[in-house]
Structure 1
Amino acid sequence: MYLIIFQTQIAHSVGCAFIVFRINYPDSLLSSDSSSWVVLVYTAIFGASMALFASHFIYRYGSIDINFGDKFTSGWKFGILFFIPIVTGIWWSTVVRVWFWPNTDMNEYTRDMIMEHVGVDIENISYIGAKFYNEVEGNLTKFLNAPAWIGVSQMWFMVISSMVCVFGFGAGCYLRLSNQLSMASSAANNLQIQLFYALVLQTAIPLILMHIPITIYFLCPMLDLDFDFASSFVASTITLYPAVDPLPSILIIKNYRKATFGE
């Protein structure tokens, strides 16, 4: 089972390996090597988005907690919130280039899967990916493929750091807004309630549509589970995220809703 992401990239997990690739059609303007860099850029943007979630929720908490905001998100420190996603994107792309770049072992392991699901030879795609276990020929014993584990450990650090920031600072915003609701005037209280519910949904959306799917996508091959649904699941949710993320603000905050629907 596979799903095309943005009409070009295909994500799939098979056995103990994961792969993200694009098909090189005969009339393609890009060479095979150039297409591999397109896949790398795509994955780097995904990595940067992980850090962008963290920066977003750190800033939101700083806008509610004045003391925290003065110390960490005001003045020149505000620029750090933009710098972190750039660094993370570069780090993510470096991991892909060093540890997940195409190689002969991955070619042979994924050749049959590519032919079965896409109908093309492995030589006609550009991909990045990794296999977490190797087997000795004629021996069923498996051993760890160190490069894959080194690379995915770094990606786990970036994903988990993002999840901690989203959940931690999201919870902090939740508690702060809860306290403010009990002290605010009627008009201010109404706005705070809208922001409160929008915050709850905007915290849940990246966790459900981005963090959890990529966790499942990495975890299945790490556990040597050939779980096809994980591939289509992560592809679908990543595609949905940009469209779904603005909806809580548009639908819950009254002024935005009035401007959108003409109420």
Structure 2
Amino acid sequence: MIFWFLVPPTFAAIWGLTAGNMFRPTPETDAEIGNSILEAYDIQMDSIVYIAAFASIPILLLHIPVSGLFIFPLLDRELGFFAGFVTITIALYPAIDPLPTIFVVENYRNAVFG
């Protein structure tokens, strides 16, 4: 039983370390994507920040609620309201996921608020 409870945190740690090490800004990735960012958005690489951190949203709206769907039966507990809450968070995900992009990318922010 302990093994089953350790699987999600283990994979979360692996994903976090991978995202922190592989998707952070480096001179090589700046050089690789700098021209396409400049052409597409007219933004210099030194004025933006990029990392896979905006995946906090899928974790809160998808991974944690769905993990609860698997953990509650293992604990022999009834889900009750929680089962309906998961369907709500899954339905909200497509509407909430673009918000960080809208607030962070200046061109999108100006189009929405300007």
* TM-score for the superposition, normalised by structure 1: 0.30
Is 2:105 the counterpart of 1:248? no
Structure 1 CA distance for aligned equivalents of residues 96 and 11 of structure 2: 19
Deviations 1:121-170 (A, max 9, x none): xxxxxxxxxxxxxxxxxxxxxxxxxxxxxxxx9xxx8x889856753443
- Which of 45, 63, 83 pairs up with 1:188? 45
Deviations 1:50-79 (A, max 9, x none): xxxxxxxxxxxxxxxxxxxxxxxxxxxxxx
Give the RMSD, CA atoms, in angstroms.
3.2
DSSP 3-state at the match of 1:224: coil
Structure 2 CA distance for aligned equivalents of residues 249 and 257 of structure 1: 8
Deviation for aligned residue 1:227: 3.0
* TM-score for the superposition, normalised by structure 2: 0.62
Query: Quick one: structure 1 residues 210 and 220, their matched pair in 2 at CA, closer, same or farther if it must change by over 3 Å?
Result: same
Q: Which has the higher helix share?
A: 2
Structure 1 CA distance for aligned equivalents of residues 105 and 11 of structure 2: 26
Query: Quick one: structure 1 residues 233 and 224, their matched pair in 2 at CA, closer, same or farther if it must change by over 3 Å?
Result: same
Gaps of 5+ in 2: 28-43
Instruction: Give the aligned residue type for 1:225.
Output: R
Deviation for aligned residue 1:172: 2.5
Equivalent residues in 2 for 1:39-58, closer than 5 Å? none
Is 2:67 the counterpart of 1:215? yes
CA contact (8 A) 1:163 1:211 kept: no
Q: Which has the higher contact order (CA 8 A, sep 6+)?
A: 1
Query: Quick one: structure 1 residues 162 and 205, their matched pair in 2 at CA, closer, same or farther if it must change by over 3 Å?
Result: farther
| Alignment match, 2:83 | 231
Structure 1 CA distance for aligned equivalents of residues 61 and 101 of structure 2: 17
| Alignment match, 2:20 | 171
Structure 2 CA distance for aligned equivalents of residues 165 and 242 of structure 1: 25
Query: Quick one: structure 1 residues 223 and 168, their matched pair in 2 at CA, closer, same or farther if it must change by over 3 Å?
Result: same
Which has the greater radius of gyration?
1
Deviations 1:46-105 (A, max 9, x none): xxxxxxxxxxxxxxxxxxxxxxxxxxxxxxxxxxxxxxxxxxxxxxxxxxxxxxxxxxxx
Gaps of 5+ in 1: 1-152, 181-186
CA contact (8 A) 1:251 1:257 kept: yes
Q: Which has the higher strand share?
A: 1
Equivalent residues in 2 for 1:73-92, closer than 5 Å? none
Structure 2 CA distance for aligned equivalents of residues 236 and 244 of structure 1: 12
Structure 2 CA distance for aligned equivalents of residues 172 and 233 of structure 1: 33
Equivalent residues in 2 for 1:21-32, closer than 5 Å? none
Structure 2 CA distance for aligned equivalents of residues 218 and 171 of structure 1: 27
| Alignment match, 2:37 | none
Structure 2 CA distance for aligned equivalents of residues 260 and 173 of structure 1: 32
Count of residue pairs the alignment pairs up: 94
